[in-house]
Structure 1
Amino acid sequence: MTSLSVILSCIAAFLVTGSIGILMSRSHLATPTVYGLNLLVSLVVFVASLSHLPVSFADAPTLVLPIGLPWLGAHFRLDALSAFFLLVVNLGTMLASLYGLGYGRHEQAPHRVLPFFPAFIAGMNLVLLADDAFTFLISWEFMSLASWALVMSHHRDADNRRAGYIYIVMASFGTLALLLAFGLLAGPDGAYGFAAIRSAEHSPLTAGLVLTLLLLGAGSKAGLVPLHVWLPLAHPAAPTHVSALMSGVMTKIAVYGFIRVTFDLLGTPMWWFGLVVLLLGGGTAVLGILHAMMERDLKRQLAYSTIENIGVIFVSLGLALAFKANGMGLAAALALTAALFHVLNHSLFKSLLFFGAGAVLTATGERDMEKLGGLIHRMPVTSFTFLVGCVAISALPPLNGFASEWLAFQAILQSPDLPQWALKIAVPAVGGLLALSAALAAACFIKAFGITFLGRPRTPAASGVSEVDRFSLFAMGVPAGLCLLAGVLPGIVIDGAAPVVLSLVGDRMPVQTDIPWLSIVPVAESRSSYNGLLVFVFIAFSASATTYIVHRYASRALRRSPAWDCGFPESSPLTQYTAGSFAQPIRRVFGTRAMRVRERVDMPAPGDLRPATFSVEQHDLIWEGLYVPIAGAVGFVAEKLNHLQFLSIRRYLSLVFLALVSLLLVLALWS
């Protein structure tokens, strides 16, 4: 039995597990049964994908099932690209299922989650195996609908209903764009199989239209600006382990779709493809992290941070397209490796951070950072693992986020060899945006950890809490350890992704595991190298030596005293730094233009007993400038067209005739 057959059987097992969730929805055994089965099946898919990762592109197994379109069937294929993303998806689903064993016991309506959770996983896996446009789109829509049902699991909340509505509208728009893109690729002959699309010649006009539609379709699912508006609404609305899957895993399905079409099906790209993707990625990274910096809701902040990381991935993909178009194979391999490495890294640390946010929500019932604080003493394991995730996502060594972003910057340094002046100018500018987003990310997650876990409890909700269950703690510990492992030994990940990179750009980075001392050398040792293990050893030695010196030569006495209160005796926790005050300097520098921020202070005159007030007004310029007018225009047109439902039979037949003639004209001109 081939790996492809095993994985397809596992997808069927996911669907059966969803049926079991329906049958057992009212039983107290439903939660451990469904999540336990998901964990086991995901493990089987992970092992099967791992064993298939080194298989060459030409030897990829295929399978055709007699379902789908009658003349086409359903084509499935397992190549190195699919295998890599299957590893990412099923590692994330294993962690989410493990977390769900504990977190799921606190779910108020498990019967609304358990049937759709395995269906969601099945849909993501099917997208990665699809080898024809019809199967791809059906799987994509199945994934979107299952995730929408999970977002709507708490539908009695008005905000959740609004989030679900916006999500399903954006998902439908994205699917429509992908449908049109594959229609252009298939051409008038209707060759929907990926093998036929791959071997066909595509004109520059067709390729440009496909790229535009692909950025709309896959970009809306990934969270590219300005198509990101659903993401900070839907991710916080879903249960936490579903949020981790949507943010850490589902967005990578969109990245897979983009890579599959642009690097595989379209053939050799044009140089301006890279320029467009590069600029979109840079803008997405900066705008996403600026919005995250302004948030006080922990899950919304993590959702906006996902937008920033998607921007980092698309910057690397844009570089890879530009290098590939100009025949710079090694530079293209470096940029694509950076993108794939960050795909894996973001899946790990974003899942970890959402799990930590879920643990805080379970223990305190709060997501608002302004109402938390002091949790490091009451939830030490959650605090430590969340700190690991914050360091990783801030791209600080020796964790994995630094390794992948360092590779992206090394790819940017290859840009002077590009022949086009537009790229010579744009790449360094986007590199500056990437550096800015990395700095803002560090500030953002210093705020997230400091306000949530340090200081004193700001409200009774943060006092008297205790650590969460062991399943949740273990589910947080595993990705924390993997973040360290991938950061200390990045060469293993780079070499593991090499078959994917080789199949897509025709070149690969040098074998990293052959380099002494476990260093990584992207291009040549004379230009740059990095050794995560030495950095880790240096940090561990320095910290241990400092701790020893302090405890050996300083006083061993334990002394407690009140924190410095700036000369005021008031000991209220409300006098502490807040999330809003932490973000204020950045809000004043960037927010006035990026979000039209306005601060208003009402200071009563002397003798006036009214309290002073401070308020902040900020706007989502993309939502107000793009989506609100579109919604208004759609409503206006719908109202004007409403009279069509009152026409006579003769007029209806005339409309049908005109529509038929128009379609025949389009077909005649196209062919």
Structure 2
Amino acid sequence: MTAALLVCALAWLALGAAGAILSRRDAGRMVVYGGSLAVSLVALAIALGALGGRAPGVTLPLGLPGIGMRFAVDPLSAAFLVLVDLGGAAASLYALGYGRHEAEPWRVLPFYPVFLAAMNLVVIAADAYGFLLFWELMSLASWALVMADHKRAETRLAGFVYLLMASAGTLMLLLAFGLLAGPRGAYAFAAIIASHRPQWTADVAMLLALLGAGSKAGLMPLHVWLPRAHPAAPSHVSALMSGVMTKVVVYAFIRIAFDLAGPAAWWWGLVVLAAGAVSAVLGVLQALLEDDVKTVLAYSTIENIGLIFAGLGLALAFRADGLALAASLALTAALFHAFNHMLFKSTLFFGAGAIQHGAGTRRLSELGGLIHRMRVSAVPMLVAAMAIAALPPLNGFASEWLLLQAVLLSPSLPQFGLKLAVPAAGALLALAAAFASACLVRLYGMAYLGRPRSAAAATAHEADGISRAAMIGLASLCVIFGLMPALVLGHLAPVVRELAGVSLPARPGWSGLTLLPVPARQSSYDPLLIALFIAVTSGLAALGLHRFGSRALRRAVPWGAAFSPRATRRCRRARNIRPRGSASRSAACSRHCCSAPATRW
């Protein structure tokens, strides 16, 4: 299986070379994105077959003399390969439609498959040399994609800051691997695990890994590049960077802190938990203040990366104190949320690309009413927004529920500092979840609901069919894995068992999906029951309003939101300019609304 994945990586690199040759022809888009979709699906099938086991390693006579380059697949790398290749397949499918609108495709097509190959090679690398080599290739390929629209000054600044932070992060990882390898230079992962070293080297290596991974993932205050670079890239690349590349960074931290560094000290969990909780709150607070759709989503990525690292910090703390079941719960929550974030954040960035192309702007203050113009793509955007806001019974709620269940097990920790810090971090995570709901309600409401606030929004058009298919596919997975989280948790069990010593227990209920992260007398979660309850209560409420509340309705002029009363009167007059149902009447209505000065209410 390892050799087959290396063949897939070579196929991606060949597609990059073909993209460089054919990028100025329309066939280049089909070759690069269609080929990337096919290779991603093959790699996904291989990764799914490798889940739960270890594939034989492969050593190639490459790299430095006497060291070689080793590749291997274990349960951890197989789980992240599934995430990477599923996200890569979705982005490639989306790009088949969205790529038609690229102004300069020759700046994107050669580097896109190289980016996919580098992320796969980082995950299957089994020595420090190969890991760092492909890590740098991943950084350089993504930098080239960020710089696709290089004529804009903000894009050039984003590329400069990204390159600077990526280089600093690689230096931190290089120092971490140097400490773990020791004076004998045991750079193979198996040799690092088998070697004996002083505890202080493992402590420093963990801190360096946190700095290196944090700068690449966007942990605060190392996040400065992320809200600049993600909006600057094309939307399918933004989806890969936010939904997939940040998870490769999570893999790197897990590989070092949970696998290579050896037994963890209890304070490791405290440091990682604090960094994650603070990043979650500050990231979503900044997202609430932004007006650009992709910038909002970029800051939301910081929040979700904070949630993932908070779960990893809890797992480190529990594992250091010998609480294997609690560690497995926290680690499962972090891994599950990493997978879920790839699904709904990729969908949201796809939707942002559809908005940008359909309306010609990404500014929330200039959008509105897109649900009438983009009826199909508005549905997966709504599903992804509800999932990232952790609303049941979608997948975002399931993973955050597991994380909060792990927080509730903190009284079993013996250290007084952890007994104080974990509940405080839990309060911050709950606050971040509340702010995330407000942020996504604001984003979806301002973009899709209400009336158009610009002529561009009033004349927006729907995305192409291929792009909509990619959005609908990922949004459907958000629903499926929300209703049936055991489908994912069962495949994560070998990873958790290897890193925490025991996997998360689960017992089938009447629906076959009741999860038991803690004993059943304390807590259980059945998503199908919750979905049934929501459906029944919503249906009864709608029926009651329709049967008993319709006669009590009071008809009045619709609220104009930020429009002044004068604009509302103009809008009402504009409705009478053309016959009912006329498209020109809607244009006149929006023109009157947009020309009227806004007033504060």
Normalised-by-shorter TM-score class: over 0.9
Q: Aligned to 2:89, what secondary structure does the other structure show? A: helix
1:67 paired with 2:62, answer yes
1:171 is the counterpart of 2:166: yes
In structure 2, the partner of 1:8 is 6
Match of 2:23 among 25, 50, 57: 25
Aligned to 1:415: 410
How far apart are residue 183 of structure 1 and its match?
0.6
Tell me the residue number matched to 2:566. 570
Identity %: 56
Unaligned runs of 5+ in 1: 576-610, 615-671
Q: Describe the SS at the equivalent of 1:518.
A: coil
Shift of 1:5: 1.2
The one-letter code matched in structure 2 to 1:147 is S
CA shift, 1:428, in A, is: 0.2
The aligned residue for residue 314 of structure 2 is: 319
Change (3 A) 1:612 1:495: closer
Find the residue that maps to 1:108 and give its secondary structure.
coil
Asked if the contact 1:456/1:573 (under 8 Å) is kept, the reply is no
- C-alpha contact 1:75 1:135 (8 A) present in aligned 2: yes
Matching residue's letter, 2:109:
L
Which residue number in structure 2 is paired with residue 291 of structure 1? 286
Rg (Cα) greater in structure: 1
Q: Using the alignment, how far apart are the partners of 1:313 and 1:542 within structure 2?
A: 33
Indicate the larger mover: 557-566 or 268-277.
Answer: 557-566
Give the letter for the 2:13 counterpart: L
Tell me how far 1:547 sits from its aligned partner: 3.6
> What's the CA shift string for 1:98-134, capped at 9, x where partnerless?
1001100001011110110000000000000000000
User: Aligned with 1:570: secondary structure?
Assistant: helix
Distance 1:164 1:545 in 2: 53
What do you get for the CA RMSD once the two structures are aligned? Answer: 2.1
- Alignment partners' CA distance in 2, 1:156 and 1:85: 35
User: Following the alignment from structure 2 to structure 1, what is the Cα–Cα distance between the partners of residues 550 and 275?
Assistant: 56
Relative distance call for 1:559 and 1:429 in structure 2 (3 A) is closer
Is 1:399 paired with 2:394?
yes
SS at match of 1:525: coil
Give 1:398-547 correspondences, 5 Å limit: 398-513=393-508, 517-547=512-542
- Consecutive unaligned residues of structure 2, counting only runs of 5 or more, are 572-596
Distance 1:518 1:418 in 2: 29
How many equivalent residue pairs?
574
CA-CA distance at 1:557 after TM superposition = 14
2:111 alignment counterpart: 116
CA distance in 1 between counterparts of 2:288 and 2:507 reads 36
1:204 deviates by 1.9
CA distance 1:103–1:214, shift in 2 (3 Å): same
> Does 2:145 match 1:147?
no
Check whether the contact 1:458–1:573 (CA below 8 A) recurs between aligned residues. no
Deviation at 1:216, TM superposition (A): 1.2
**Cα separation, partners in 2 of 1:374 and 1:558, compared to 1, 3 Å:** farther
Q: Which residue of 2 aligns with 1:349?
A: 344
Aligned to 1:190: 185
2-side partners of 1:257 and 1:30: how far apart? 33
Equivalence for 1:339: 334
Aligned pair in 2 of structure 1 residues 205, 117: CA closer, same or farther (>3 Å)? same
Contact persistence 1:491–1:513 (CA under 8 A):
no
1:159 Cα deviation from its structure 2 partner? 0.3
Distance 1:324 1:574 in 2: 65
Matched, 1:227 2:225: no
Cα distance in 1 for partners of 2:388, 2:406 equals 20
Aligned equivalents of 1:246 and 1:269: distance in 2?
30
Displacement of 1:517 after TM fit? 4.0
Quote the offset at 1:562 in angstroms: 3.2
The residue that corresponds to 1:592 in the other structure is none
Q: Hey, what's the Cα distance between the residues in 1 that align with 2:193 and 2:140?
A: 29
- Residues 565 and 103 of structure 1: CA distance in aligned 2, closer, same or farther (over 3 Å): closer
Which residue of the other structure, out of 33, 36, 43, is the alignment partner of 1:35?
33
8 Å CA contact 1:458–1:574 kept in 2: the answer is no
Equivalent residues of 1:495, 1:512 under 8 A apart: no
- The code of the aligned residue for 1:183 comes to G
TM-superposed deviation, 1:465: 1.6
SS in 2 for 1:77: strand
Other-structure match for 1:369:
364
Shift of 1:135: 0.3
Amino acid at match of 1:325: A
Residues in 2 aligned to 1:280 and 1:78: alpha-carbon distance in whole angstroms = 30
- SS class of match (2:59): strand
Q: Quick check: 1:202 aligned with 2:197?
A: yes
Separation in 1, partners of 2:511, 2:457: 49
Counterparts of 2:37 and 2:226 in 1: how far apart (Å)? 26
Partner residue of 2:151 out of 145, 150, 156: 156
2:369 and 2:449 in contact (8 A); partners too: yes
1:278 counterpart = 2:273: yes
Note if contact 1:308-1:437 (Cα within 8 Å) is conserved in structure 2: yes
Q: Name the stretch that deviates more: 271-280 or 549-558.
A: 549-558
TM-score, normalised relative to structure 2? 0.92
Aligned partner of residue 64 in structure 1, secondary structure: strand
Distance 1:39 1:54 in 2: 25
Query: Which 10-residue stretch deviates more, 562-571 or 223-232?
Result: 562-571
Distance 1:513 1:107, change over 3 A: farther
Q: Distance in 2 between matches of 1:95 and 1:125?
A: 15
